A and B are shown apart, each in its own frame.
Chain A
Amino acid sequence: MADLASKLPLSPAPITPEQLEQGSSLWSDAWARLRKNKLALGSLFMFILIGLFCVVGPWLSPYDSQAQNLFAGAEGPSADHWFGTDTLGRDLMVRVMEGGRISLLVGLVATSVSLLIGVVYGATAGYIGGKVDAGMMRFVDLLYALPFTIFVILLMVAFGRSLWLMFVAIGCVEWLTMARIVRAGVIDLKKQEFVEAAVSLGLSNRRIILRHLIPNVLGPVIVIATLTVPAVMLLEAFLSFLGLGVQPPNASWGVLINEGQQNMEIFAWLLIFPAFFFALTLFCLNFLGDGLRDALDPKSAGD
């Protein structure tokens, strides 16, 4: 066949971009469904509010999170200090905001790291298959079998304590689940005819994985990611609680809750305020994840 265009009937007027009907992608359909879910949308809104509170708050507050005032030590909520002060006289509200920055940062960065590694690794293993797949997944099994706490303690001992190391440590653990989910999804998709069609066109493996496979497994991945963020934040709280994570005078919600529970019988507000924000964030993310799952895969929505 020489040239297709020469054999086609002469086209009438060329189509201009303005004439095109815009289609609605599966993403925009999912967004429309999510918008109808009041709980999920409220959660998203609340999560953004908490984020703004933590990020912008410290700049507006007259207090410094690390400035001690031993004369004002451990006072309950008042007009000056809305959340009260801790035993060293530091304003708790600023500390909750700054702790939130770190907790949210850990949650988002570690989740992104796990997302990136997990999706690429899982998609590659699933698409190539065979011995490569078996080898790659046995490596995942191996990491799964490693006790997490010992792994983190080893890292901390070997490289010293740092926030970035904690991102790496948590990311290294969380990507395993992601990789398994993506691999399963890709193996499922690989048999679909549109992937065969892409192979028939002579597209590169890279392009097939990036354009045809990953966008189609992203739905469940996004859901898992929103549920991973709170899991990661809990891990960070756990590590900080053990003294392996964020170190004083820096604060994270985990650190603040730890400090609060030591004095909770006398200065209850030291536990209540950070715990409230932490719990609220976890609730929001879980509801959002639930809502996203229903929106992205309406067939699975239970009701």
Chain B
Amino acid sequence: MSAAIGDPATDFLVLQDVRTHFDLGRDFLTRQSKGVVKAVDGVSLTVRKGEVLGLVGESGCGKSTLSRTIMQLIRPTSGQIWLEGEELSAISDQDIRETRKNFQMIFQDPYASLNPRMTVMDTLAEAIRTRHPGLNAEEMRGRVSDLLRTVGLNPVQMKRYPHEFSGGQRQRIAIARALAPEPKLIIADEPVSALDVSIQSQILNLLKRLVREMGLTMIFISHDLSVVRYVADRIAVMYLGHIIELGSAEAVVDKPLHIYTKALMSAIPLPDPRAEKARTRIILPGDLPSPLNPPSGCVFWPRSPVEHDERLKTVPPGFAEVYPDHWAADCPFCVEKPA
């Protein structure tokens, strides 16, 4: 087991060897197993209090499943998750409801994440009540106003319905709802990818400001590296249910270790046309393998330009600290070791 895992008693959020598998069941006639999708397959991670951890990876790599597993919307198949010393993965399905207010989520699509039949006031009041059940109407109005001002909306609009707001405004409402129960942890699952580019930066700046001013801890999920680089303190790179690299945002972006991360970084377009022309892209052969039938050993070997030896095609590599606080899969073919 790798030492990337912190101490569950003292660290803020600790994941140890978390696996989320989906059993597809058996074929109706032949009774043969249709297989198991290993969406998250052995993730160990520590999130520090007050930081923004960026989680990047291509579509289908398990980012969203991992976020929903941390949120306990999907219970992990195995492994442990601790939030401030409390083991979430051990809480029963009945008791988990009481704990949910401590971790909240901002969803991708602001058009689907707000109930169209409820006013902004009702939506936020419902969330506030999970933490403060006994507020009277006036106190509630005050809190809703404060929340709306915090996310940059005009409180006089609190009696309006979601369809009367633009996409960016709706995402602000969704952010206010996530803040309302005063959570310890916020997971933002691609919060800007459904928004217009001109709105994206406003929402990103809002999130950055909220994290700084309110001392929040956030896991920020995106497939857009330029967005993650802008908001995240540390970045974790995910590939096929595994974390293959983890380090500070500058280290991962500027000095990536894993060949997959290097390929991802080389795919970011540059604003300067000359630099853009000179950019060399690393093109990986093949597609993301199916999580139904993932490769054994180092998950990356089928797509790696460097031929792997037989051992790493069968035995999974560990996770090693290559530089201080910069971790990568312990595979000599994917990761160049410092001389």
**Does A147 touch B at the CB level, under 8 Å?**
no
Cβ contacts under 8 Å, B130 to chain A: 201-203
Q: Give chain A residues whose Cβ lies under 8 Å from the Cβ of B193.
A: none
* Contact indicator B161/A200 (Cβ below 8 Å): no
Q: Indicate if A78 sits at the interface (CB-CB under 8 A).
A: no
Report how many residues on chain B are interfacial, defined by Cβ distance under 8 Å.
55
Chain A residue nearest in CB terms to B187 = A200
Whether A26 contacts B161 in the complex (CB less than 8 A), given A1-B182, A193-B107, A200-B105, comes out as yes
Q: In the complex, which residues of chain A have a beta carbon less than 8 angstroms from the beta carbon of B142?
A: 11, 14-15
In whole angstroms, how far apart are the Cα atoms of A115 and B297 in the complex? Answer: 57
Contacts of A211 in B (CB 8 A): 115, 118, 126
Query: B113 at the A/B interface (Cβ < 8 Å)?
Result: yes
Residue from A17, A192, A200 whose CB has the most chain B CB atoms within 10 Å? A200
How far, in Å, is B307 (CB) from chain A's closest CB?
Answer: 43
Q: Check: A158 CB closer than 8 A to any chain B CB.
A: no
Give every chain B residue within 8 A of A4 (Cβ-Cβ): 143, 146-147, 179-180, 182, 214
Rounded to whole Å, the gap between the CB of A276 and the closest CB of chain B is 40
Complex CA–CA separation, A15 to B145 (angstroms): 7
Chain A 5-25 residues near chain B, CB threshold 8 A: 5, 7-9, 11, 14-15, 17, 19-25
Which residues of chain B are near A193, meaning CB under 8 Å?
Answer: 107-109, 112-113
Query: In this assembly, does A196 line the interface, its C-beta being within 8 Å of a C-beta of chain B?
Result: yes
Asked whether A194 lies within 8 Å of B112 as measured between CB atoms, the reply is: yes
B98 at the binding interface (Cβ < 8 Å): yes
* Residues 52-76 of B at the A interface (beta carbon under 8 Å): 71, 73
Across-interface contacts of A26 in B (CB, < 8 A):
116-117, 161, 163
User: A203: which B residues are within 8 A, CB to CB?
Assistant: 97, 126, 130
| Contact of B127 (CB < 8 Å), options: A23, A25, A201 | A201
Bound complex: CA A194 to CA B118 (Å)? 11
Beyond A17-B141, A24-B161, A203-B126, whether A7 also contacts B214 by CB under 8 A is: yes
What is the bound-complex CA distance between A14 and B96, given in angstroms? 36
Interface flag for A300 (CB, 8 Å) = no
The residues of B that contact A199 with a CB separation of less than 8 Å are: 73, 100
- In angstroms, Cα B150 to Cα A202, docked, is 23
- Nearest-Cβ distance from residue A261 to partner chain B, whole angstroms: 47
A249 on interface, CB distance cutoff 8 Å: no
Inter-chain CA distance A212–B127, complex, in Å, is: 13
Give the CA-CA distance A277 to B101 in the complex, in Å: 58
Interface string of B213-240 (1 = CB under 8 A from A): 1111000000000000000000000000
B140 to chain A, nearest CB (A): 11
Interface check B157, CB cutoff 8 A? yes
Tell me if B157 and A194 are in contact (CB < 8 A): no
A residues less than 8 Å from B146 (CB atoms): 4-5, 8, 11
Q: Which residues of B contact A216 (CB under 8 A)?
A: 115-117
Query: Which residues of B sit under 8 angstroms from A25, Cβ to Cβ?
Result: 117, 119, 161
- The answer, yes or no, to whether B89 is at the interface (CB within 8 Å) is no
A8 with B150: in contact, given A19-B156, A201-B126 (CB under 8 Å)? yes
Are B159 and A1 interface neighbours, CB within 8 A?
no
Q: Is the beta-carbon distance between B145 and A200 smaller than 8 angstroms?
A: no
B155: Cβ under 8 A from any A Cβ? yes
Which of B108, B164, B179 lies in contact with A23, CB distance below 8 A?
A: B164
Would you call B181 an interface residue if the criterion is a C-beta within 8 Å of the partner chain's C-beta atoms?
A: yes
User: How close is B207's CB to chain A, nearest CB, in angstroms?
Assistant: 15
- Within 8 Å CB of B99, what residues of A? 202
Residues of B with C-beta under 8 A to A20 = 156-159
CA A193 to CA B105, docked complex, whole Å: 10
Bound Cα distance A4, B101 (Å):
13
| Docked complex Cα distance between A193 and B187 (Å) | 14
CB distance from B181 to the nearest CB of A (A): 6
CB distance from A208 to the nearest CB of B (A): 10
Across-interface contacts of A19 in B (CB, < 8 A)? 156
A197 contacts partner chain B, Cβ-Cβ < 8 Å: yes
* Interface: B26 (CB within 8 A): no
* Beta-carbon contact of A3 and B182 below 8 Å: yes
B281 within 8 A of A: no
Q: Is A215 among interface residues, defined by CB-CB distance under 8 A?
A: yes
11 A-B pairs in the complex with CB atoms less than 8 angstroms apart: A3-B182, A14-B145, A15-B155, A21-B159, A23-B159, A25-B117, A26-B116, A193-B107, A200-B71, A201-B104, A211-B126
